Amino acid sequence: MIQLRNVYKRYKDTYALQNINLDILSSEFVFLTGSSGAGKSTLMKLLYREEIPTSGTVMIGNINIAKLPNDRVPNIRRCMGIVFQDYKLLPNISVYDNIAFVIRTLGMRSKEIQERVLGALKVVGLSNKMNAKPNELSGGEQQRVSIARAIVNGPPLLIADEPTGNLDPKTSLEIMQILEQINEKGITVIVSTHDRDIVDYFRKRVITLEQGQIIRDVQAGRYEQ
């Protein structure tokens, strides 16, 4: 599903990524680890076309998104859900409206919008908070809302950049279990994290970056070997 070949990304005079070659199959669950500045967020930004590689190809399905015209970016983004450390919820509207926001722009019938939003809320276990505003929720609950928003359109790919970076260990585990359940339905999940305990607990594929290069890629791995 995802194939990177000879990918380099340079910001001014720093190489954030160098010679990245990587395949991620459909339905895989991947942890992306590495110290601060290793290039995790940059790699993810290439996948959701927030950044363009300096050279190399980034294939999502059969589309090289490194060469995708800007006006086609919204199309490819619709095939992926993106989750951030700081949730990025709209503060002045309800949980329900935050989740419905994007699919409302797709011209879907309101009945279908409702079914999808309620379905997504159920997946993250937050049906009872649909009328709350984001600032009435805990951090863990806000992250659940952002995950519901990411999956509401049924994307084949979910990208989460340090989704538990602001959460305590118990809440982090709950959030990661939700991501695992989503993956079990066949959605490809890529998660960057610094959380050693989480990586060691789940024993998934672990890809480690160091100074912009892949230094390790193991199945059923731990944070360190």
Ligand X SMILES: Nc1ncnc2c1ncn2[C@@H]1O[C@H](COP(=O)(O)OP(=O)(O)OP(=O)(O)O)[C@@H](O)[C@H]1O
Strand order in the sheet with 188-192: 80-84, 157-161, 188-192, 29-33, 205-210, 213-218
Q: Which helix (H) or strand (E) holds 170?
A: helix 169-184
- Kindly tell me which of 125 and 165 has the beta carbon lying closer to Mg ion: 165
Whole-angstrom Cα distance, residue 117 to residue 106? 14
Q: How far is the CB of 184 from ligand X (least distance, A)?
A: 27
Residue span 34-73 as binding mask against ligand X, x where in contact by CB under 6 A, dash where not = x-xxxxxxx-------------------------------
Residue pointed to by tokens 């649909």: 130
Two structure tokens written together for 160: 């989460």
Which parts of 27-86 interact with Mg ion (CB under 5 A)?
40-41
Q: How far is the CB of 186 from Mg ion (least distance, A)?
A: 27
Two structure tokens written together for 143: 């992250």
Residue 110 interface partner, choices Mg ion, ligand X, none, CB cut-off 5-8 Å depending on type: none
- Kindly tell me which of 41 and 208 has the beta carbon lying closer to Mg ion: 41
Helices 139-151, 95-104: inter-axial angle, 10-degree rounding: 20
Task: Point out which span in 29-37, 70-78, 91-99, 124-132 binds ligand X (CB under 6 A).
Answer: 29-37
Q: How far is the CB of 34 from ligand X (least distance, A)?
A: 6
- Kindly tell me which of 181 and 213 has the beta carbon lying closer to ligand X: 213
Residue 109 interface partner, choices ligand X, Mg ion, none, CB cut-off 5-8 Å depending on type: none
Rounded to the nearest 5 percent, the helix, strand and coil shares of the chain are 35, 25, 35
Whole-angstrom Cα distance, residue 159 to residue 85? 11
What does each C-alpha distance from 79 to 42, 150, 190 come to in angstroms? 19, 10, 14
Residue 37 interface partner, choices ligand X, Mg ion, none, CB cut-off 5-8 Å depending on type: ligand X
Whole-angstrom Cα distance, residue 52 to residue 38? 17
- Kindly tell me which of 41 and 183 has the beta carbon lying closer to ligand X: 41
- Kindly tell me which of 41 and 146 has the beta carbon lying closer to Mg ion: 41
- Kindly tell me which of 37 and 125 has the beta carbon lying closer to ligand X: 37
In DSSP notation, 85-96 reads TT----TTS-HH
Residue span 157-196 as binding mask against ligand X, x where in contact by CB under 6 A, dash where not = ----------------------------------------
Which parts of 4-23 interact with ligand X (CB under 6 A)?
11-12, 14, 16
Residues at the interface with ligand X (CB under 6 A): 11-12, 14, 16, 34, 36-42
